[in-house]
Structure 1
Amino acid sequence: MGVRNIERLIEQRIKENPINPDILNLEEKVVEIRRTTRVMEGGRRFSFSTLAIVGDRNGHVGFGHGKAREVPPSIAKAIADAKKRIIKVALIEGTVPHDVYGEYDSAVVLLKPARRGTGVVAGGPMRPVLELLGVTDVLAKIVGRTTNPNAVVRATFDALLKLKSPEEVAKVRGLEEEKIKSVYRIYAGGVPVR
């Protein structure tokens, strides 16, 4: 999925369901700090670009970028940007409801539900996104050609935006919500509720 598409999806989700970051108990994590150098007449001029994740470990997560001449302002800008892009994600008993692929440029990620007690089996920049989201059990893998943190985080968000809650599935299929939830629980390794 291209740059504009993922941004558009996040903006659309935020418009549909605006989330006030002030009422959430958000945690912050810096995923990457890049230093860029520009050679000027008087010497080198450094600039820093930061990728940060915010989440409340209860189904809300966001990511943001910040650029500045020093590290602390770039981190502050990234966190402020992340708070503007918080999305709500459907989770069932600490795991994702179903298998889902997410892609961004050449980064492709796979998220699969896992049994209780598995933990977060995810590498690189996917781990902080899933941990701050509140996922306790998930199997995740980067299956694309790149491990660029920026692309992987965006691909992870693409996957999270594709997740459907049992309520959404029941509404589309015209079934009872509890029936869908019990199927999701079985799929995630839980015990069906009768």
Structure 2
Amino acid sequence: MANKSNKSRKKGRAKDKDSAWQERVVQIRRVSKVVKGGKKLSFRAIVVVGNEKGQVGVGVGKAADVIGAVRKGVADAKKQLVEVSLTKASSIVHIANGVAGGAKVFMRPAAPGTGVIAGGAVRTVLELAGVKNILAKQLGSNSPLNNARAAIDALESLRTFAEVARERDIPLEQLYA
């Protein structure tokens, strides 16, 4: 009996550790590869993983079944996590642009109470990053994968005043002067 309760406690701890991460499937697409015997069908899943506290990642997984593709996508997204610096109003610190392939994403900080004004994969990336107030526009491509990667690129380019001061080896107060 005691052995059984130990197992449940261990499972509980592992579940708590992973429960901070949310995952959302942006797209599942059936793809095929032409081989000697005909066509080999498989699935491609685009997955966004985030903890709503400033960390987010986009991953792609391919497998013979949907569940396997999603699992691989989650693992890929966790390998490519990006740290996002947010303001007290849960917005981004400055205007940012991101590019991936033919997709361009423009992001602009917004006042508290605005909400997430963005579409498609960009909205998913921003919500899982923990951004609550932002204006975003996707330009160019309609590809969910390229738009999600462009959003990650824009979020990656964000820098706070403290980071800029540290890079320039000057005190923070000197930036305002």
Change (3 A) 1:24 1:71: closer
Q: CA deviation at 1:23?
A: 7.2
CA distance in 1, matches of 2:66, 2:122: 23
5+ unaligned residues in a row in structure 1: which ranges? 1-21, 181-194
Counterpart of 2:121 in structure 1 is 125
CA distance in 2, matches of 1:25, 1:105: 31
- Output the amino acid matched with 1:69: A
Match of 1:52 among 41, 47, 50: 47
Larger radius of gyration: 2
- Output the amino acid matched with 2:96: V
Alpha-carbon RMSD: 2.2
CA distance in 2, matches of 1:33, 1:23: 23
CA distance in 2, matches of 1:147, 1:132: 20
Counterpart of 1:36 in structure 2 is 31
Deviation by residue 1:120-168 (Cα, 9 ceiling, x = unmatched)? 000010011000000000000012x211011111111111111002211
Q: CA deviation at 1:173?
A: 7.6
Counterpart of 2:102 in structure 1 is 106
Contact 2:82 2:152 in 1 (8 A): no
- Output the amino acid matched with 1:124: G
Q: What is the SS of the residue equivalent to 2:162?
A: helix
Match of 2:130 among 130, 134, 137: 134
Q: What is the SS of the residue equivalent to 1:125?
A: helix
Q: What is the SS of the residue equivalent to 1:82?
A: helix
% identical equivalent positions: 40
5+ unaligned residues in a row in structure 2: which ranges? 1-16
Counterpart of 2:57 in structure 1 is 62
Tell me whether 29-38 or 114-123 shows the greater mean CA deviation.
29-38
- Output the amino acid matched with 2:124: P
Change (3 A) 1:23 1:50: closer
Counterpart of 2:163 in structure 1 is 168
| TM-score of the aligned structures, taking structure 2 as reference length | 0.81
| TM-score of the aligned structures, taking structure 1 as reference length | 0.74
CA distance in 1, matches of 2:80, 2:33: 30
| Residue 150, structure 1, aligned to residue 145, structure 2 | yes
